[in-house]
Amino acid sequence: MYEHNQVAYLKPKHGYRRGYSVALLVGLEDDRAILWQIFSHVVKPHLTVMLDGRRTDEKGLYNFHESVVAAFRPALNEGVRSIVVTSPVKTTYAADFLNHVRKHHTHLIQSKNPNKATFATLVGSADQPYKVAEMVKTKEFRELVAETTSDEADNVVDALEKHLYNSNSFVLFSLKEIEDRVYDREGQDDLRTNYLVLTNKYLADAEDKNRIHRLLQISKNRRVETRIVNAETPAGKRISQFGGIAFFTKATKQRP
């Protein structure tokens, strides 16, 4: 429905790109949920989930909430872990949805789960591009996204720190070594979970940005958990100590 629309909330520069994924915005309305992808330079409409029936229908509302979770799972699989949930003033739609997540999808919010999502709520309607464009410009929204993405980055760096001293995992800091690892199909191991994390400064300062974007894209295609973190955050400063980029992996299952 919205595939040809695009809402820029930063002025595009020459050689404009959408930037890197920052968060997902879920706008809950009376009869639908509109999902928006928040990138570092633009907001893009993702998809719409319709409510079949009324909100007073308990079963129908349950199915609706399940459909919304299913709708943003692909984004989670691509490494987006920050989700901002909005609903119009004087409604409880956002609170009702988060209660559903806490009750039926506990794994998404468990603090010890390295792949957990960080949820935040905001009052406002996100059913139209111009409303979203205005919302993402507000100080409240920027601070909310900064907080959720910072929490997310902290989780990734915590996992990295554990991997540094784990004999069953290894960490790479060289771009060439990381490329060799990601591009080597024969070296792919379904028994392992791989992570690629880099700072936004590393990406911005790269002499060959196409090289980095290619690495990010192929990493996502091969189900590598990818993260781009703000270099000014504590997590970003820690990654910067390693040169601004790191790849780490650990065994998630026992071999037969």
Its pTM stands at 0.67
192-241 pLDDT, tens per residue? 678 888 988 898 888 898 899 899 889 888 878 888 888 888 888 889 99
Q: How far is Cα 71 from Cα 69, in angstroms, rounded to an integer?
A: 5
To the nearest whole number, what is the mean pLDDT of the chain? 81
Residue 243 falls inside a structural domain: yes
76-117 pLDDT, tens per residue? 877 777 899 999 999 999 999 999 999 999 888 876 665 678
108, 137, 166: which is the final residue of a domain?
A: 137
**What is the domain count for the chain?**
2
Are residue 45 and residue 114 in the same domain, yes or no? yes
Residue 172 falls inside a structural domain: yes
Residue 236 falls inside a structural domain: yes
Q: What angle do CA 65, 71, 74 make, to 5 degrees?
A: 140
DSSP conformation class of 240: H
How far is residue 210 from each of residues 39, 72, 216, 240, measured CA to CA in Å? 17, 27, 10, 21
137, 167, 199: which is the final residue of a domain?
A: 137
Residue 72: which domain range?
7-137
